[in-house]
A and B are shown apart, each in its own frame.
Chain A
Amino acid sequence: MALAKAINESLRKALESDPKVLIMGEDVGKLGGVFRVTDGLQKDFGEDRVIDTPLAESGIVGTAIGLALRGYRPVVEIQFDGFVFPAYDQIVTQLAKMHARALGKIKLPIVIRIPYGGGIGAVEHHSESPEALFAHVAGLKVVSPANASDAYWMMQQAIQSNDPVIFFEPKRRYWDKAEVDVEAIPGPLHKAKVVREGTDLTLAAYGPMVKLCLEVANAAAEEGRSLEVLDLRSVSPLDFDTVQASVEKTRRLVVVHEAPVFFGSGAEIAARITERCFYHLEAPVLRVGGYHAPYPPARLEDEYLPSLDRVLDAVDRSFAY
């Protein structure tokens, strides 16, 4: 099943099992979303459950907050990563803080789906990775699946969460297929996974970069290096215990994400792992990601995004210490 289809199936299951679940967003109904992630849901669940909204992101999130206060569980779609900013105020000043402001009396179980990241040759504002901006905000949880199975299960768990969850969907992986066991018992939403065992260096990634890191590990294996690959899955909270355990074994860590490196999630991982594993590390924690520049035009994105060679280069630098 393709990752996009897995999310669709997951949303379908949520709509079936809980009448309070709503899907909201621009074009999510008749069109089924610009990526067709919500395809067919309005046809089967009606316009009251799968709601085409006016073209107003702050309005989408703000009204979702009101619906959640009324007892609904809205799953809202922001059409593309770079379009979330009109809603950023509602997300940061209201959605994230209302539970605390009400001393726990209010719960806002809202999922904000954001297709994110580059690699699809899109125009400006359609390829960004703003996850650090959300992870920095207390009150929000931030997750990103890397494969269809996680997409299916993590969406179920995000909808069941009583906290607001920013659900970053790796749009360049929407069409990647994988087995999805819809009967499985999933692990915790915020637990990282070791997706490839290794002994010499740890690659930590999430979302679209997990697949790249697995390719890097294959390439490194041909050079005689055994790389362990972690799929972090959750950016906030971040499962530092799993990263720590891996680094204590491999003694080297390279963090890979598409977002700019500066003040990114890799910086947080590097800082905390340095604190936790200072005497285990053979090299400083290295980061591979985007540059401190606006996301470039599509013809340059291959240079901007982490690539097999850029990650391998970081691996080499780690071993050079």
Chain B
Amino acid sequence: MTVESTAARKPRRSAGSKTGTTRTTAQSADAPAVDAPATAAKRVTAKRAATKKPAAKPAGTGADPDLVQLLTPEGRRIKNAAYDPYVAALTSDELRGLYRDMVLTRRFDAEATSLQRQGELGLWASLLGQEAAQIGSGRATRPDDYVFPTYREHGVAWCRDVDPTNLLGMFRGVNNGGWDPSINNFHLYTIVIGSQTLHATGYAMGVAKDGADSAVIAYFGDGASSQGDVAESFTFASVYNAPVVFFCQNNQWAISEPTERQTRVPLYQRAQGYGFPGVRVDGNDVLAVLAVTRWALERARRGEGPTLVEAFTYRMGDHTTSDDASRYRHDDERVAWEAKDPIARLRTYLEASNHADEGFFAELEAESESLGRRVREVVRAMPDPDPFAMFEHTYADGHALVDEERAQFAAYQASFADVEEA
């Protein structure tokens, strides 16, 4: 049987499966229909369909009944019986906090992009557009949870209290990591796509062995979902019932390849084949992401095993500062997603529901500028590493060859001093 014929015969809604429980809950009768998609998004969907897409349901058009959403793109709070309890206790202060996190993260990201353009960073991977996916999930974690990011999780790092300037060392080229992961339980950025999902799974296996009630969350993208390591991590997590949440930020593009080039079925449905639940959440809705991730992490803590969360979002910028999305992406698509902006919709909600006043927004604006200034100053002041640093930490217990080559390098360096003295 071919992939196409399987997909063509696939029912639009699967019922009675193990994952069905989750989605049935998520799609309870109380849950109102999700807003209709923007016109441009329809057009884009049609364009993608033209790339010989099989007859599976169109992913993420907004008409997707499987998409968990608590806040519409217009900033209207909608009910969802299954997930409302996970955000019901949020205070005004906490709601403003989520907004603040997203604004400051975006400001930090914009500053980093500018610094790259000014030659202060060698490269930058912007998170623009993915603030809700990262802040919502990051704020769902507890301090004793452990986070395995890829290389774009600046918002999650923010939630884990990693100083944002620490993230810039590797992009400036002064180190390949730069922070102690054990301090904030936030692992180093992993550049090889998908590798960290296995580290997260192994760590979670260790958590289970230790009898701890903490959980692990692994971030990856839609492109990474094609990697063997991600598939293997699903297998290991499932068979060992590891307390890990796989958090896929489907930002629609893996550099220039659309999600349709990675998968013929919606990504969250992959979980079903591995025997654990998969949920698609509106990745631009910080409340929904917070709720779904809290649910998944609590599930893990209760010993109920892994969950796949697909945060349906959009990379507003280029893949990195070396990329040029205009070569493969139509502007209309971006415009359509701008209408779903995660920050704007929460602001509308905060204002409409009197959770925040003008004073708050003004104060945040000032804080934002101050953060940008600090980031700029710290980056510009970052010294180049000592040349001998390249020999450090290659091995924990030492290595004769490293010692020999360090000595050779020292002699070579010293030879310049002789020349200078002469």
A265 to B181, CA, bound (A): 36
Contact of B397 among A102, A103, A105, A162 (CB under 8 A): A162
| B-contact 0/1 string along A229-246, CB 8 Å cutoff | 000000011111000000
| Contact present for B182 and A99 (CB under 8 Å) | no
Give the CA-CA distance A53 to B202 in the complex, in Å. 12
Query: A69 near B195 (CB under 8 angstroms)?
Result: no
Instruction: Report yes or no: A67 in contact with B175, Cβ–Cβ below 8 A.
Output: no
Evaluate contact between A66 and B204: CB separation under 8 angstroms: yes
Interface size on B, residues (CB 8 A): 42
Bound-state Cα–Cα, A97 to B394, Å: 7
User: Is there contact, CB below 8 Å, between A103 and B202?
Assistant: no
- Bound-state CA distance A240–B394 (Å) is 20
Q: Are A63 and B192 in contact (CB under 8 A)?
A: no
Q: Knowing A66-B205, A89-B192 touch, does A104 contact B397 (C-beta < 8 A)?
A: no
* Number of A-B residue pairs at CB separation under 8 A: 143
In the bound assembly, the distance between CA atoms of A163 and B180 in angstroms comes to 18
From A90, A162, A190, A239, give the contact of B229 (CB < 8 A).
A90
B205 to A161, Cβ gap below 8 A?
Answer: no
Interface residue B201 (Cβ < 8 Å from any Cβ of A)? yes
Instruction: Tell yes or no: A70 within 8 A of B by CB.
Output: yes
Closest chain B residue to A105, Cβ basis = B180
Is B203 touching A69 in the complex (CB atoms < 8 A)?
A: yes
The residues of A that contact B397 with a CB separation of less than 8 Å are 161-163
Q: Chain A: how many interface residues by the 8 Å CB criterion?
A: 46
Residues of chain A within 8 A (CB-CB) of B239 are 54
Residues A49-80 near B (CB distance < 8 A): 53-54, 56, 58-59, 61-72
Cross-chain contact A237 with B175 (CB below 8 angstroms): no
Is B1 at the interface (CB under 8 A from chain A)?
Answer: no
**Inside 8 A of A53's CB, which chain B residues have their CB?**
236
- Is A66 a contact of B203 with CB atoms below 8 Å? yes
Partner-A contacts on B (CB < 8 A): 175-178, 180-182, 187-188, 190, 192, 195, 197-207, 209-210, 228-229, 232-233, 235-236, 239, 392-397, 399-402
Closest 4 CB pairs of A and B: A66-B202, A62-B198, A70-B206, A63-B202
What are 25 A-B contacts with C-beta separation under 8 Å? A54-B232, A56-B232, A56-B236, A58-B228, A58-B232, A59-B229, A62-B195, A62-B198, A63-B233, A64-B202, A65-B202, A67-B202, A69-B187, A69-B202, A70-B202, A70-B206, A71-B206, A106-B188, A161-B396, A163-B397, A236-B399, A236-B401, A237-B401, A238-B400, A239-B400
